Amino acid sequence: MAEDEKRDKTELQVMKELVDELYNFRDCYFETHSMEEAGRKKSDVAQEMEKTLKKLEEKEDSFQDTAEFLLQKGRCLNVAPDFSAVAEVCLSRAVKLEPGLVDGWNTLGEQYWKKGDLIGAKNCFTGALQHGKNKVSLRNLSMVLRQLPAADGDAHSKQVMESVDMARQAVQLDITDGTSWYILGNAYMSLFFTCGQNRQLSQQALSAYAQSEKVDRAASCYPELHFNRSTLFQYEEMFGSALNGYSRAAALDPGWEGPPEREKQLLEYLKKVTELIQNKGKVKARRLRTMLSNLSTSALGPCLSPQFRSPAGRVGSLEPRTLTSLKHGSNSGVAAMGKVVFSLAMEGRMAFTFGMVDSEEVCIVVMVYNIADSWGVLIGDTVVIPEPLLKRQSITHKDESFDFRSIRVDSPLLLIVNGKKQNPQSQIVTSVSCSRQSE
């Protein structure tokens, strides 16, 4: 009897190793395949899954009522990106036979998630943690919490903060796990967009993504990592890095339409902006002179008051400055002023873009974030930007180059348009979510 038990354990261990090898084949695909073979990854993984499944099923008659066998069969089917009813049945039976089977609860939770049952998934991951603290349950909970519907904005913020805590705990359990670092990056990114866009949070997200790649070579081949990070790069106006990331994500997963579409949209946006700056929005010279003739310091409106409080908290009136006299970075104590000559909405409404010409007929592009759909400026409007944040955009990507100066404005409430402050309803916090269920 003891010999039979020993043989069974050995056979079950071999099955586990077979399934582990399958996951390793999927996760480390590019360690044994070139980027040119990226389009074959999905079919190659499916083929390996079928081979592994066949080997497991050869032993099914002997082990079909064994929790460990059911777990490995469920894990094998779970390697595929889509829901498997057979996997759900196997894993449900496995945890009934052995309620303390943490891997069983985690894999069953992933199947519920693929089916769209987020509450069922959350219950599985929470249940697994009751049997033992582990990184897989924690990071899966982190992802599910950010996707669960919330009653209101406050409840959603609370869920996102809880998701960051779960991801942090997963990293603490194993600081060498690139997947945990990557999910922590996504959690920080969600927190950044949910809770006031504190620059420290975006830096923490970028640091976590970098750490993910540093500790785990396989993580650098996650297309979702490059895509999500590029979304943050684009928001931070690191356009060259965003384009490179979208391009990398597209190369890693040629079947995913999102990355090449984003890359194309961003390139078209940069081309359009460059062209509009060069021709000053195609406004005819005579009309431009007429527009600029009534540009006076009275347009500064509230900025003329000694009690004016600038975005940085400085109190005192602001001095108007020409665009050429502004320095790169923040310009304290001064205001840029000009006439709108064009406007442009970035795809996905990430920013509202407009071109502004000052009294010297110099044109600059202004990117305004966190705008309500109803907000915008019209050609001919006078816009004052208190303490403008000036940037130099110098981008080269796939033989295309862009070079222009821009002003970033984090909220329309910071602008003075036609001598007036903007209505509080003109601002709405930008919401950006991480891509794909698997992140």
Q: Which two tokens stand for residue 435?
A: 């891509």
Strand partners, 367: 353, 408
Would you say how long the chain is, in residues? 439
Strand partners, 420: 417
DSSP state letter for 401? E
d(CA 412, CA 295): 21
The DSSP secondary structure of 131-181, one letter per residue, reads H---HHHHHHHHHHHHHS--SSHHHHHHHHHHHHHHHHHHHHH-TT-HHHH
User: Which of 75-79, 355-359, 405-409, 435-439 is predicted least confidently?
Assistant: 435-439
**Is residue 68 predicted with pLDDT exceeding 80?**
yes
Predicted confidence band at 280 (pLDDT cuts at 50, 70, 90)?
very high
Which of 289-293, 368-372, 430-434 has the lowest average pLDDT?
Answer: 430-434
CB 118 within 8 A of CB 147: yes
The helix (run of H) or strand (run of E) holding residue 217 is none
Of the candidates 235, 173, 230, 181, the one whose C-alpha atom is nearest the C-alpha of residue 204 is: 181
Q: What is the mean pLDDT of residues 90-119?
A: 97
Cβ neighbours of 297 (radius 10 Å)? 13
Residue of 354, 366, 374, 418 lying closest to 391 (CA atoms): 366
Strands 334-345 and 351-357, how do they pair?
Answer: antiparallel
Query: How many Å apart are CA 41 and CA 47, to the nearest integer?
Result: 10
Report residue 62 CA to chain centroid gap.
Answer: 47
User: Which has the higher per-residue pLDDT, 7 or 78?
Assistant: 78
pLDDT at 262: 95
Over residues 199-221, the pLDDT tens digits come to 899 999 999 999 999 999 889 99
Token pair 């993580």 is at which residue?
219
Report all structural domains of the chain as residue ranges with CATH numbers, in order of start: 11-269 (1.25.40.10), 281-426 (2.40.50.550)
Q: What is the pLDDT of residue 197?
A: 82
Task: Please list, in sequence order, all residues whose beta carbon lies within 8 angstroms of the beta carbon of residue 136, skipping any fewer than 6 positions away.
Answer: 103, 106, 128, 170
Kindly give the residue spans of alpha helices, DSSP state H, lying in 195-323: 199-215, 223-235, 239-252, 258-278, 285-293
* 153 confidence band (pLDDT: 50, 70, 90): confident
- C-alpha dihedral (140, 144, 146, 149), degrees to nearest 10: -170
Q: Are 18 and 50 in contact (CB under 8 A)?
A: no
Give every CB contact of residue 139 below 8 A, 6+ residues apart in sequence: 166, 167, 170, 179, 180, 183
CB atoms within 10 A of CB 342: 22
Evaluate if residue 182 carries a pLDDT over 70.
yes
Contact 263, 250 (CB under 8 A): yes
Mean pLDDT of the chain: 92
pLDDT tens digits, one per residue of 329-382: 999 999 999 999 999 876 666 789 999 999 999 999 999 998 888 899 999 999
What mean pLDDT do residues 6-10 have?
74
Q: Tell me how far apart the alpha carbons of residues 29 and 225 are, in angstroms, rounded to a whole number.
A: 16
How many angstroms separate the most distant Cα atoms in the chain?
Answer: 100
Q: Does 2 have pLDDT greater than 90?
A: no
Mean pLDDT of 108-112: 98
Predicted local distance difference test score (pLDDT) of residue 1: 42
Is 60 exceeded by the pLDDT of residue 438? no
Are 103 and 137 spatial neighbours (Cβ–Cβ below 8 Å)? no
